[in-house]
Structure 1
């Protein structure tokens, strides 16, 4: 089997207001805006391109799992527990809605947070092998 896919290049996120959302992603997550118009903003961060697409007000990423809990579809990685704790504390100072740091029974620790539009994301304290070659 040939492995053609090398990485995820772009993620599309539904937002109500691309300009407002772009400013939030820049301030909170350190994104760099490359383009913006009335319908979308294109950002670079986390080694990926993110399109913030103007969507219907009720649209957001996340789904209910088999237990009825809202589940994320994207996990950001940080370099270790100390960075996870620092990022969690930073998000608290910015009044971002977020969950507690938790042990989910696998290596590392996680927490979830929400952007301005209710999109839910996960953060994990373990870097993928390609990024952990330090």
Structure 2
């Protein structure tokens, strides 16, 4: 088959099964998100929050009996799922006052600022500043997905760029940030620069990431989803088994251990 179309479609923030209700309260109260509902099904417990700006944030319980959702081998690695905040300095101050661990802000190649927080259960969420939203959602800290929601560390920037072009069908942005150690990747179909590849030290230890905040790509048709699963295996990649019924998902890894997730639902 041709290279499948991997469309960004939100994701899951994983939380411990035995603390699921506590996590729902934490995200509702600490983030200022509105809870739309919860559900329990074949793949465990979920909670759905309406993000103040656009989109939906989803909590998901770890499930020990499913490789796709197990808590075993938990590692944040170099995968970042990025969200938008209006004023990073104020937001980080708020989280510090709430006892939430934060990182030092980073000046990204496009001139924006970003920082990590350690959310409930240890999940790392990356916050990216968008001053155009300042004052619009005063009761919310994280407003919607970031303009560039995916940020991945790679040990060989050139090789990783070629891999993402070949396997996921992305293209390089017209904006060149290689002198700053970044490549910005583009969703060709939607004409959207949405994913950062960042050069990390080439001697960095290989870490197979199974992070708490997991960005997902959607394959819209079920037959295409199943064919994509088979096609990725044919590329000699490590691919998990498919889990779920009406909702189905699996994951695979890039050469640097970054975990990429895929789902389909109807």
Q: Could you state the TM-score of these two structures normalised by the residue count of structure 1?
A: 0.74
2:215 & 2:193 partners in 1: Cα distance? 12
Post-superposition shift, 1:74? 1.3
Q: Which residue of 2 aligns with 1:126?
A: 265
User: In the alignment, what sits opposite 1:62?
Assistant: 210
Which residues of structure 2 form unaligned runs of 5+? Answer: 1-31, 33-50, 54-142
Q: Whole-Å Cα distance in 1 between the matches of residues 182 and 206 of structure 2?
A: 15
Higher Cα radius of gyration: 2
Partner of 2:184: 42
92 and 72 in structure 1: CA distance in 2 versus 1, 3 angstrom threshold: farther
Point out where structure 1 has 5 or more consecutive residues left out of the alignment. Answer: 64-70, 128-134
Q: Spell out structure 1 runs of 4+ moving beyond 4 A.
A: none
Contact 2:153 2:197 in 1 (8 A): yes
**Pair 113,96 (structure 1): closer, same or farther in 2 beyond 3 Å:** same
2:171 and 2:144 map into 1 onto residues whose CA distance is 23
Alignment of 1:53 with 2:102, yes or no, is: no
Map of 2:236 onto structure 1: 95
In the alignment of these two chains, the number of paired residues is 118
Pair 1:101–1:116, CA change in 2 (3 A): same
Greater Cα offset, 11-20 or 22-31? 11-20
Indicate conservation of the 8 Å contact 2:184/2:193, yes or no.
no
Alignment check: 8 A CA contact 1:72 1:121 kept: no
Q: What SS does the aligned partner of 1:8 have?
A: strand
Shift of the alpha carbon at 1:26? 0.3
Q: Which moved more, 1:86-95 or 1:24-33?
A: 86-95
In the alignment, the residues of structure 2 paired with residue 23 and residue 79 of structure 1 have an alpha-carbon distance, to the nearest angstrom, of: 25
Query: Which string of whole-angstrom CA distances, capped at 9 and with x for unpartnered residues, describes residues 47-70 of structure 1?
Result: 55111001242376533xxxxxxx
Q: 1:3 aligns with which of 52, 71, 81?
A: 52
Contact between 1:18 and 1:36, CA under 8 Å: does it hold in 2?
no
TM-score norm. by structure 2 comes to 0.39
Q: Deviation digits for residues 6-52 of structure 1, max 9, x if unmatched?
A: 54321211110111001000000000112352612110127551110
Structural RMSD (CA): 2.6
Alpha-carbon shift at residue 76 of structure 1 (Å):
0.9
Secondary structure (helix, strand or coil) at the match of 1:86 reads helix
